[in-house]
A and B are shown apart, each in its own frame.
Chain A
Amino acid sequence: MIAWTEEQEAFKDVVRRFVDAEIVPNLEQLEHGDLPPYDTMRKLYDTFGMKEMMKARYERIIAKDSEGAGSERKATTGGGDMMAMQCILISEICRYCPGIVTALGVSTGLTAGAIIARGTRAQKEKWVLPLLTLEKIGAWAITEPGSGSDAFGSMRSTAKRDGDGGYILNGTKTFITNGPYADTIVFICKLDDGSTEPQDRKILSFVLDKDTPGLTRSKPLRKMGLHSSPTGELSLQDVHASADQLIGESEDAYGRSGAKETFGTERSGVVAMCLGIVDRCLELCVSYAKERVQFGKPIGEFQLIQLKLAKMEVARMNIQNLLFRLIELTNAGTGMSFAEASACKLYAAQATMEVTIEAVQLFGGNGYMAEYQVEQLCRDAKVIQIYAGTDELQITAIAKGLLRG
């Protein structure tokens, strides 16, 4: 793949029209008001017939389960076109509002994804469809005040067997996207069987409904950017979970690899986000460089400004090419290795941060003002170097891939 196809371009246009009509006029409220992103996400799904597509996807997942062929993930070749459309959807929304994509991705990608990958058929039937269609909003709770990059090593949340087939859950989770509003929460913790040392404990994950007794949620936390994605804290105090809430209904079903699979998917989605942010910054900067006159000529005629624009274009081309590769690999049915997905994420995140900070610089004083969109995109971009695995963790993953064997 060397360019978007005609159909993909057509989809890009139509998503852009939706963003112009439904997101741009509400951006101030989404970013700085009290408007949660969920109704906009639902409208997006309704508009593009994605609810129906998600229902069809759910039926395929269940059908596959009946055949006993294992998880959907091990599926298939030929998914490139769908992956391309997904990338377009993500990047077009991120031209204005990366927060919406984060909220959407966590709900349908991470939360539903975790249940699809490792859940039993009954669990999929109960929770997956409402999450995929956005009837319900999901949160995926792994990070804790004391555990970020060292997600499993420092994890303190626990599940203890209650002696009656169920579990008692305790712990505090933070930086949880959709936490304040989620209907369905995937809670990741360690099994405390009273004898195993913390570092050797099994990783379990449970599906909890929002009204579970003992579960409390904070209001949205204030943060640097991504204001349209509500982030919160979850606290569990002696929460009772039955065995059928344990993903896979087995203490060995999820484990560390379950979460790792989720990380891989997440990293590819982030690259599409980066394309949208960089594309919009470049568009804004080119336009500003032509219009803004200093020392008697448009600033685009100064070579220092040209250098910034040229570097932005290089970043845009590289990120787009990474996406083309991702789409091709998806189509071939091989997907990306964990190390490669990490490499893509690392490059895209760093390039995007550089582009956005340079965009603010190019706009000068105006760039520092909230009125000009580069300010928001710059604040939003920073989190991409942090969430879905920090840059530092991506580097470790790439190096491990190189040094293995």
Chain B
Amino acid sequence: MKILVCLKQVPHKDARLEIGSDGTWIKEDGIKFEINDYDNYALEEALRLKDAGEAEVVVATIGPDRVTQSLRTALGMGADRAIHVWDDSLANADSLGIAKVLAAVAKEENFDVVFCGLMSDDSNYAMVGPMLAQLLDIPHVTAVVKTDFENGAVKVEKELEGGTLEVSQVPLPCLLAVQTGINEVRYASLKGIMQAKKKPLDKKALSDIGLDGAAVAPKLSIEKIYTPPKGEGANLLSGSADEIATQMVGKIKELGLL
């Protein structure tokens, strides 16, 4: 079985974020990056398939030079090889542009399963997975919380609202966009990391995968990002802990919540 795992490198969860001077994205200088959390679970799910039998796990990412560190981590965790695509024209790529690049990568090889995270921690679109599946003309399931591979198909549980689960049977090849918490993500071992530098990491330009800047030009651009201004209406309670508790219960009752 051949598996592609799509990873995104996002700002570290503890990074102190500041809005950049043009107001359309954060300042990326001097902050740490890490693998998008959803993608960690996707990678772990792929590595479990590898552990269970014969499978090759390929990880792919798009981004500037800094992303190779995340690829090394993925290789250290057990992925077999990595693909890194970058072109300056991808700096403002939208979900469709990213999906087109990943589709071009995926089309170069015949993957049985494409795993990706449900969405990215930094932009939360949750669009790349479904778009990529569409471009590859393969079925997909999002918010995957359980997979069970058998006889060329996969039984998938998908998370719905209110704790309901949807179960479906999907033929391979397919794309699964994974929810967090579905497995326990392994740590890369020391030996794994030391061996990671010997594993192949292919750097590709857009032209290597038959694309150019025009093909991935964004149709969607961010107008601005901002921190919501402090609003009115906050009611600050004061007094001892007991007094505050009493006032709070009163408020909750007043709002009809109790």
Contacts and interface: CB of A to CB of B under 8 A. Distances in A.
A317 to B, nearest CB: 16
Interface in A117-137: none
A217 to B, nearest CB: 33
A263 interface: no
Given A7-B72, A7-B76, A52 B191 contact: yes
A50 to B, nearest CB: 6
Closest 7 CB pairs of A and B: A49-B189, A10-B73, A48-B190, A10-B72, A11-B193, A14-B188, A49-B191
A13 B72 CA distance: 11
Interface residues of B, number: 17
A17 B188 CA distance: 10
Contacts of B189: 47-49
Given A13-B34, A14-B76, A6 B190 contact: no
Contacts of B196: 7, 10
A7 B187 contact: no
- Interface majority SS (helix, strand, loop, mixed), chain A: helix
A11 B190 CA distance: 7
Contacts of A53: 190-191
Of A11, A17, A50, A81, which is in contact with the most chain B CB atoms at under 10 Å from its CB?
A11
Contacts of B91: none
A110 to B, nearest CB: 21
B168 interface: no
Interface in B182-238: 187-194, 196-197
Interface in A66-106: 81-82, 85, 89
Given A10-B73, A49-B189, 19 more contacts: A6-B72, A7-B76, A7-B193, A7-B197, A9-B69, A9-B72, A10-B69, A10-B193, A11-B76, A11-B193, A13-B73, A14-B73, A14-B193, A49-B192, A50-B190, A52-B191, A82-B194, A85-B194, A290-B16
B194 A7 contact: yes
Interface of A: 5-7, 9-11, 13-14, 17-18, 47-50, 52-53, 81-82, 85, 89, 287, 290
Nearest to A291: B16
Interface string B65-97: 000110011001000000000000000000000
A11 B193 CA distance: 7
B69 to A, nearest CB: 5
Contacts of B192: 49
A13 B12 CA distance: 10
Contact of A17 (B16, B76, B187, B193): B187
A402 B34 CA distance: 47
A47 B69 contact: no
8 contacts: A10-B193, A13-B34, A14-B76, A14-B193, A48-B189, A48-B190, A52-B191, A85-B193
Contacts of B72: 6-7, 9-10
A52 B16 CA distance: 38
Nearest to B198: A7
B187 A18 contact: yes
B96 to A, nearest CB: 30
B190 A85 contact: yes
A15 B76 CA distance: 13
B191 A6 contact: no
A347 to B, nearest CB: 27
B186 to A, nearest CB: 9
Contacts of B193: 7, 10-11, 14, 85
A188 to B, nearest CB: 32
